[in-house]
Amino acid sequence: MNVLLIEDDKELVTTLKKGLYEEGMSVNSVLSIHEAKLYIQMNKYNVIILDKILPDGDGNSFCYELRENGDNTPILMLSACDECDDIVDSLNKGADDYMTKPFRFAELIARIRALSKRSNNMKSHILKVRDLTLNIMSREVKKGDKTIELRNNEFNLLLLLMKRKNNVVSKTEIIDYIWNIENFIDPNLLNVTIYNLRKKIETPHDPKIIYTVRGIGYKIVE
């Protein structure tokens, strides 16, 4: 597990790094927001531990900035303040968890592992092909930063193809998955659904995403 520790208390940094290493975690530590931005650009982290007050800025503001830029890395906020308003403010700015100093190391480890596990579970619900993403839980589809509105049949078709990306999915399997083959009446319905889906997720200037495999079915190519 890769952890980024953003904390300006050097004694605390030394203690935490030693303990995290002993728990089998890889740790990068920085003392400022400026340094943190450089490390985040260069590395992927499972969890970020972020101090609320730093020499060059406010941890809450930095957390909000990361979320606005699309960084969904789990963030554990550390603070000496245990006031309810401060905790709520941090969570509203995008922090996933909040711990007040001083804290027990065993609890910190448990929270880090819980955040990492939660993040991995969330990622398993997100399918991606090139700049197209599909969130199974929220049923949201995006092409780049643009949200694409799909009808229920179009979403289910895209979901099946993305789950089986780079593999051919037969027409029979698609029909059974979306409509139940025993109740399927209109043979043209699949063609119409494919056509409408293509119009929504493909653009004239980009390579096409859904390929027709003549006589068999369709596939999505990464």
Where do the domains of the chain lie, and which CATH numbers do they carry?
Answer: 2-123 (3.40.50.2300), 126-220 (1.10.10.10)
So what's the pLDDT on residue 123? 58
Backbone CA torsion sign across 62, 65, 71, 75: positive
Q: Is pLDDT above 80 for 178?
A: yes
pLDDT in tens, 28-83: 999 999 999 999 989 889 999 999 999 999 999 999 999 888 788 899 999 988 78
So what's the pLDDT on residue 25? 92
Instruction: State which H helix or E strand residue 117 sits in.
Output: helix 105-123
Q: What is the mean pLDDT of residues 89-117?
A: 91
Q: What is the mean pLDDT of residues 138-156?
A: 91
Burial class (CB in 10 A: 0-12, 13-18, 19+), 167: exposed
So what's the pLDDT on residue 124? 63
Burial class (CB in 10 A: 0-12, 13-18, 19+), 91: middle
Residue 109: half-sphere exposure toward Cβ, Cα within 13 Å? 13
So what's the pLDDT on residue 211? 94
So what's the pLDDT on residue 16? 95
| Residue 114 vs residues 46, 57, 95, 107, 120: alpha-carbon distances, Å | 11, 27, 14, 10, 10
Instruction: Give the Cα separation of 147 and 150 in Å (integer).
Output: 10
So what's the pLDDT on residue 122? 58
Q: What is the mean pLDDT of residues 114-125?
A: 72
So what's the pLDDT on residue 210? 94
Only one residue has tokens 């199974």, namely 136
Instruction: Give the Cα separation of 30 and 43 in Å (integer).
Output: 13
pLDDT in tens, 12-31: 999 999 999 999 999 999 99
So what's the pLDDT on residue 201? 94
Q: Is pLDDT above 80 for 142?
A: yes
Burial class (CB in 10 A: 0-12, 13-18, 19+), 145: exposed
pLDDT in tens, 188-199: 899 999 999 999
